[in-house]
């Protein structure tokens, strides 16, 4: 499948037998995103006696403190643990060539056409001609479960 972006760049998306997609084209001008790694910061926080959930910790480590609209600095958690948060440059979570299309982890790929319906992005790996996009099915998480009474969903044992 060919995709022409807003700058006139042509990208091809080719579904492979293993379910992955070859994404090929010109990536000379391109933004790449990497996820933040919080494991070390959160482990240290817990060792120091902290008890908040990781999701709350992630918010607090980036929190900024303001008073009367004036920025005062980082939160207490941010001051103490932010230096332990880093970008995991071994994992790509977003690729955005100039003019698009921007592709992110867990993004649905239905917009590429019927052949890609219900596929979502699991991995993005660089290859010589572009990227290999690993995929999973939009409803794969329901495969090993059962619905009880049309309302309750639980994992099969």
Query: Which residues sit opposite 12 in a β-bridge?
Result: 2, 24
Q: Give residue 141's pLDDT.
A: 73
Domain boundaries in the chain? 2-32+88-155, 36-86
- With bands split at pLDDT 50, 70 and 90, how would you rate the model's confidence at 108? very high
SS3 state of residue 49: coil
Structure tokens at 139: 């409803």
The closest alpha carbon to 116, from 8, 12, 10, belongs to: 12
pLDDT at 150 over 70: no
pLDDT in tens, 129-143: 999 999 999 988 776
Interatomic CA distance for residues 70 and 64, integer angstroms: 11
Give the CA diameter of the chain: 59
Average confidence (pLDDT) over 24-28? 95
Q: Could you tell me which residues come within 8 angstroms of residue 141 by beta carbon, excluding any fewer than 6 positions away?
A: none
Read off the pLDDT of each residue in 92-117 and give the average, rounded to a whole number.
Answer: 96
The Cα–Cα gap between 5 and 93 comes to 20
Q: What is the pLDDT of residue 155?
A: 61
Judged against a pLDDT cut of 70, whether residue 14 lies above it is answered with: yes
Residue 157 predicted with pLDDT over 60: no
Give CA–CA dist 143/150, Å, rounded: 16
**Which tokens sit at 96?**
């955005």
The whole model's pTM is what? 0.79
The helix (H) or strand (E) run that includes residue 140 is none
Residue 148 clears pLDDT 70, i.e. is over it: no
Model pLDDT for residues 49-72, shown as the tens digit of each residue: 999 999 999 999 999 999 999 999
- Retrieve residue 104's tokens: 């992110």
- pLDDT recorded at residue 87: 96
- How remote is the C-alpha of 76 from its chain's centroid? 27
**What is the predicted pLDDT for the residue at 71?**
94
């Amino acid at each position: 499948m060919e995709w022409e972006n807003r700058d006139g760049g042509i990208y091809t998306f080719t579904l492979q037998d293993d379910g992955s997609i070859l994404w090929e084209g010109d990536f000379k001008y391109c933004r790449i995103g990497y996820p933040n790694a919080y494991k070390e910061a959160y482990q240290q926080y817990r060792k120091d006696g902290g008890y908040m959930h990781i999701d709350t910790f992630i918010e607090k480590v980036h929190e900024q403190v303001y008073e009367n609209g004036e920025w005062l600095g980082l939160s207490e958690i941010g001051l103490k643990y932010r230096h332990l948060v880093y970008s995991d440059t071994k994992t790509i979570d977003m690729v955005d060539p100039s003019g698009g299309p921007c592709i992110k982890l867990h993004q649905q790929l239905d917009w590429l056409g019927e052949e890609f319906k219900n596929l979502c992005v699991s991995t993005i790996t660089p290859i010589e001609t572009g990227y290999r996009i690993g995929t999973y099915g939009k409803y794969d998480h329901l495969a090993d479960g059962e619905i009880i009474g049309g309302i309750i969903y639980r994992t099969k044992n």
